[in-house]
Amino acid sequence: MKISYHGHSVIQIQTNGKNIIIDPFITGNSLTDLVPEKVKADAILLTHGHNDHVGDTVAIAKQNDALVVANADLTTFLSWQGVKTHGMNIGGAWQFDFGKVRLTQAFHGSGYATENNEIIYCGMPTGILFSSEGKTIYHAGDTGLFSDMKLIGDRHPIDVAFLPIGDNFTMGPEDAAYAAKLLQAKLVVPIHYNTFPPIKQDPQQFIEMLEDKNGKVMNPGDVIEL
């Protein structure tokens, strides 16, 4: 399995001959190294409905005939735009041909802002547990710290945890470091920082806060192989 980071909360996974992308916010993301028209994806996984996570989902899904997996409210909204979807909800899991997806709780908002100054409700925000080839990845999405992260870690041994550290909208570095302790992941990677002024952070300082120093700062384009 190959996992790559592409700025903000964008993660790509290559496994079982399939390409998966999580939260493909590319257009408007000054930190990404991706170009929407060149992204290859068999599946798109979304944590919630905010614009900086839905991003280029519709365009990428249509050009690749990709399946979009997210909470049922968000997938309904996206299906109206002509893409293939599989709706789920918190606590549920499904085995796809590319891997197993389970949605966890997250504490955040989940509204999509339209060009007509409307907010479309997109269901509960979630985290994602993705399992394939005997490995498990946890993408926390946008969330504050919550104690059931310990339950997630206890029940699902996590190889890599992607945690937001930007503060203001999500956990800051201190809370994210505590979350890492609860999750007991083998490797922790910070996400959702430095894209906008309110979430400016030093990711290396976050790594130093981790009790086990089991963190890695990934620059856009960096790859982890499991």
The pairs formed by 79-88 with CB atoms below 8 angstroms and a separation of 24 or more are 82/58, 83/57, 83/58
What is the pLDDT at residue 13? Answer: 98
Q: What is the mean pLDDT of the chain?
A: 97
pLDDT digits (tens, 9 = 90+) for 30-44: 999 999 999 999 999
pLDDT digits (tens, 9 = 90+) for 104-145: 999 999 999 999 999 999 999 999 999 999 999 999 999 999
What is the pLDDT at residue 206? Answer: 98
Question: Phi/psi class of residue 30: alpha, beta or left (left: φ > 0; alpha: ψ in -120 to 50)?
Answer: alpha
pLDDT band with cut points at 50, 70 and 90 for residue 209: very high
What is the pLDDT at residue 4? Answer: 98
Mean pLDDT of 85-95: 98
What is the pLDDT at residue 211? Answer: 92
pLDDT band with cut points at 50, 70 and 90 for residue 151: very high
What is the number of structural domains in the chain? 1
- pTM score above 0.75: yes
pLDDT band with cut points at 50, 70 and 90 for residue 3: very high
Through-space distance between the first and last CA atoms of the chain, rounded to whole angstroms: 5
Residue 23's domain is classified under what CATH number? Answer: 3.60.15.10
Domain hosting residue 125, numbered range: 2-217
Question: How far is it, in rounded angstroms, from Cα 194 to Cα 7?
Answer: 9
The answer to whether residue 226 sits within a structural domain is: no
The answer to whether residue 94 sits within a structural domain is: yes
What is the pLDDT at residue 131? Answer: 98
Mean pLDDT of 12-18: 97
What is the pLDDT at residue 188? Answer: 98
Question: How far is it, in rounded angstroms, from Cα 73 to Cα 172?
Answer: 28
Mean pLDDT of 81-108: 98
The answer to whether residue 112 sits within a structural domain is: yes
pLDDT band with cut points at 50, 70 and 90 for residue 178: very high
The answer to whether residue 194 sits within a structural domain is: yes
The answer to whether residue 164 sits within a structural domain is: yes
pLDDT band with cut points at 50, 70 and 90 for residue 99: very high
| Residue 5 token pair | 């980071």
- Taking Cα atoms as reference points, which of 103, 100, 106 lies closest to residue 90? 103
Q: Give the contacts of 196 (CB within 8 A, at least 6 positions apart).
A: none
Is residue 209 helix, strand or coil?
helix
What is the pLDDT at residue 158? Answer: 98
What is the pLDDT at residue 18? Answer: 98
The answer to whether residue 225 sits within a structural domain is: no
